[in-house]
Amino acid sequence: MINSLLLAAAIGGNFVHPNPTPPADLPVTIYEQRRTRVLAELDGCAAVISSQGDVTGVTEDYRQDADFYWLTGINEPNAHLVLQPKSQYRKVLLFLKARDPEAERWTGPREPVSPALLKKYGVDRVLRGSPEVALSGTGLHHDCVAIISPANMGKVDRVDDELALRLASRFGLKVIYKRGLLAELRATHGPEELERMERAIAITAQGHNAVARATVAGVSERDIQTQLEYAFYANGGTGLSYSSIVGSGPNGAVLHWDQNSRLLQTGDLVVVDAAAEYGRYASDVTRTYPVSGHFTAEQALVYRAVYQAQEDIFAAIKPGVSMADLQHVAEESLRRAGYLADFIHGFGHFVGLDVHDAGDYEKPIPMGAVFTVEPGVYLPAQGFGVRIEDEVVTTDRGYRLLTLSIPRKLEDVEAWVARERHRSQ
């Protein structure tokens, strides 16, 4: 069956790649508004923040860190943003990597500094190279410098921290620390971000429909991964939120199983934790599928306990609640069910530009925050695990379930699996 599905997908003559709405990229005005918000929070202090992305693969694929991307929308290494709230005309300076014609033959041409580039990024000035010389002017016209880089990286890891501290030392500026500023601002999502996260979820739903069809005995976990990731990209996904987890049988009791090598067997449960990204915005969904089409009595008992934990968490999401509060709710629910010792992770996490996004777990969850609700029970001795993961956005009345279209109740999952498999025949 899997081979016929792959063949049909590959040769479908009427296939037209979708052009989802909204467009993947945010308009430059959004980044301008974000920088204006940061400038207003600096108390007149200058600040510098540098790109901290990761390079992977032979082609040196670059993925920008979420803080710099949130401020600029730029996916380039060796970039720096200098914020000068006391400057009249040059409050926002952007420094990009110097051009290298020989290197660009390998990586593609880069735009010259021009009025068009200035307009593209919505800043007051674009330059190339290190910002250190330009910071001399910053030091002369500011009394303080703010460190806004997140606290999860040490001083030796950050060029921007070193630049800011050298600037303070040279000009005798006061140093203030606003380590949580960007996380606080990023935790509340605007409508344009929610649109893209909901698009990512809609695309993810198509991938999980493919999984409902494909989780049959005799196929491999890798076959499942191939089917769902094809569906992500075929429906307009711009990437994967994370490496797809497909754990069948005992592998479902391994939280981050990544080998995806086992053959599915009759009676297995398959935990599939996989989601699409859209326009750099992540989604995060997990469903647990019965290979036979139905849960056994023991599997159903565990599944209902996990489902009830979700329901208890949903009921507790109200204005003023914290992630720490909700963790307690999850633990108490699974304690009552007798599975607390088998619940070995947090109930959820914030989602945004990163699948594990910025946010404070002890403070009240802000309105407009998106986070997962993902209790799970893992029983390696019994040869299976169960996790159900959904996403919500907080509102002034509580929350809205973003993943409503993906079945999660036991009876609905069984009906969904039956329906999707019937369609594939």
Residue 203 falls inside a structural domain: yes
R_g of the chain computed on alpha carbons: 24
197: closest CA among 398, 402, 350, 404?
Answer: 402
- Check residue 103 and give its pLDDT: 78
Cβ burial, residue 417 (10 Å; 0-12/13-18/19+): buried
Residue 9 falls inside a structural domain: no
Q: How many Cα atoms occupy the beta-carbon half-sphere of 240 within 13 Å?
A: 13
Clarify whether residues 226 and 150 are in a common domain.
no
Mark the ranges of the chain whose per-residue pLDDT is less than 50.
Answer: 1-13
Residue 183 falls inside a structural domain: no
Clarify whether residues 298 and 233 are in a common domain.
yes
Other C-beta atoms within 10 Å of 185: how many? 17
Clarify whether residues 198 and 330 are in a common domain.
yes
Which domain CATH number covers 405?
Answer: 3.90.230.10
- Check residue 372 and give its pLDDT: 98
**How many independent structural domains does the chain possess?**
2
Clarify whether residues 342 and 304 are in a common domain.
yes
C-alpha to C-alpha distance for 303 and 386, rounded to whole angstroms: 6
Clarify whether residues 382 and 250 are in a common domain.
yes
The per-residue pLDDT for range 176-220, each reduced to its tens digit, is 999 999 999 999 999 999 999 999 999 999 999 999 999 999 999
Residue 125 falls inside a structural domain: yes
Per-residue DSSP letter, 389: B
Clarify whether residues 103 and 213 are in a common domain.
no
The per-residue pLDDT for range 64-103, each reduced to its tens digit, is 999 999 999 999 999 999 999 999 999 999 999 988 888 7
- Check residue 3 and give its pLDDT: 47
Clarify whether residues 106 and 204 are in a common domain.
no
C-alpha to C-alpha distance for 215 and 414, rounded to whole angstroms: 12
Residue 209 falls inside a structural domain: yes
Domain that holds residue 120: 42-177
Residue 35 falls inside a structural domain: no
Clarify whether residues 79 and 165 are in a common domain.
yes
Residue 296 falls inside a structural domain: yes
Which domain CATH number covers 148?
Answer: 3.40.350.10
CB-CB contact of 298 with 261 (8 Å): no
Q: Give how far Cα 108 sits from Cα of 105, 111, 128, 359, Å.
A: 6, 10, 17, 36
- Check residue 101 and give its pLDDT: 82
- Could you give the 3-state DSSP secondary structure of residue 199? helix
